[in-house]
Structure 1
Amino acid sequence: MKLTFNKKQCFTVPEKLYQILSDELVNVLTPEIDAEVIILNYRDPDYSSHAGGFHPLEIRLVKSMAEGKAVYEFVYITDFSFQGSPYPELVVDIDVCFIAEQVYTVYGGWLDKTSGEELKELFLTNFISYVEMQVFEVEVTFY
């Protein structure tokens, strides 16, 4: 399955991320070509509240129309981490929300687009490195 992306969204993402997503969807055995929504979940099977590891991450893409053709756009890219004690829960750590044009961090709350841009760049650069290290198992869901 090959996707066409709307690259004119509020936040830019590295070209490498588009390639990673496209490569992952090529690996899907039975892609749903007409899917309105695609969710990609990246999980480190060894991540736990006690041992640490690489945070799970979720990317939601939605089909829309841009310049007269169907394209996929980012809705969010969300990183989760275990927080709290004595019973840690998996919560949103960093959320890049393309709809609200804001970035959220568990330690700083919602940042405006300008303030969140630097965090988003570091976050995505790290994520791309982790994918290249092959630390994640990936699950793709279509709606």
Structure 2
Amino acid sequence: MQLNFDKVQGFTVPVKLHKLLNRELAKVETPEQDLNALTFNFRDPSYSAERGGYHPVELRMEKHNDQWQFIYMTDFSYSGGQYPELEREIDVCFETKRVFSLFSGWHNHCDGKALVKLFISNFIDYQTTNAYQTTINFR
């Protein structure tokens, strides 16, 4: 299965990310039925609140008119004192063209573009060093 991406999204998505997702998808067996949604989960198995590591990232895509569109891309990190929990640190909502940052709240499209670019660029770099194990959920 090869994903055909909608090139017009709420935020610019580099071709490197398209290629990365297609490579990850090629590694798994895809269901026979028509798919309408994919959720990629990227996890560093050694990541913990105590030791740190690479933050988990989740990316959701949905199919519209034979093209795959990005819905959201979220970076999670441990937060909290004695009993830390995973919370979203960066949340890119492609549909509403808004970005959430744990440290500064919601940003509009204009204000969030630099953060999105940095987030995606860093994620691609981490994934190319095999920092993550990937799972894909099909719908």
1:18 is displaced (CA, Å) by: 0.2
Q: What is the CA–CA distance in structure 1 between the aligned matches of 2:30 and 2:101, rounded to whole Å?
A: 35
Question: Is the CA contact (8 Å cut-off) linking 1:25 and 1:31 kept in structure 2?
Answer: no
Tell me what 2:83 maps to: 87
Tell me what 2:96 maps to: 100
SS of the aligned residue for 2:83 comes to coil
Q: TM-score, normalised by structure 2?
A: 0.97
- Match of residue 128, structure 2, among 115, 127, 132: 132
Q: Could you say if the C-alpha distance between residues 33 and 141 of structure 1 is closer, same or farther in structure 2, counting changes exceeding 3 Å? A: same
Tell me what 2:51 maps to: 51
Q: TM-score, normalised by structure 1?
A: 0.94
State percent identity of aligned pairs. Answer: 43
Question: Is the CA contact (8 Å cut-off) linking 2:10 and 2:96 kept in structure 1?
Answer: no
C-alpha RMSD over aligned residues: 0.9
1:32 is displaced (CA, Å) by: 4.5
The one-letter code of the counterpart of 1:8 is V
Aligned pair 1:142/2:133, yes or no? no
Q: Structure 2: where are the runs of 5+ without partners?
A: none
SS of the aligned residue for 2:106 comes to strand
Q: What is the CA–CA distance in structure 1 between the aligned matches of 2:38 and 2:84, rounded to whole Å?
A: 29
1:34 is displaced (CA, Å) by: 1.3
1:30 is displaced (CA, Å) by: 3.3
The one-letter code of the counterpart of 1:96 is V
1:83 is displaced (CA, Å) by: 0.4
Question: Is the CA contact (8 Å cut-off) linking 1:10 and 1:101 kept in structure 2?
Answer: yes
Q: What is the CA–CA distance in structure 2 between the aligned matches of 1:84 and 1:73, rounded to whole Å?
A: 33
Q: What is the CA–CA distance in structure 2 between the aligned matches of 1:140 and 1:24, rounded to whole Å?
A: 9
1:10 is displaced (CA, Å) by: 1.5
Aligned pair 1:118/2:118, yes or no? no
Aligned length: 139
Q: Could you say if the C-alpha distance between residues 107 and 92 of structure 1 is closer, same or farther in structure 2, counting changes exceeding 3 Å? A: same
Tell me what 1:76 maps to: 72
Tell me what 1:60 maps to: 60
Q: Tell me which stretches of 4 or more aligned residues in structure 1 moved more than 4 Å.
A: none
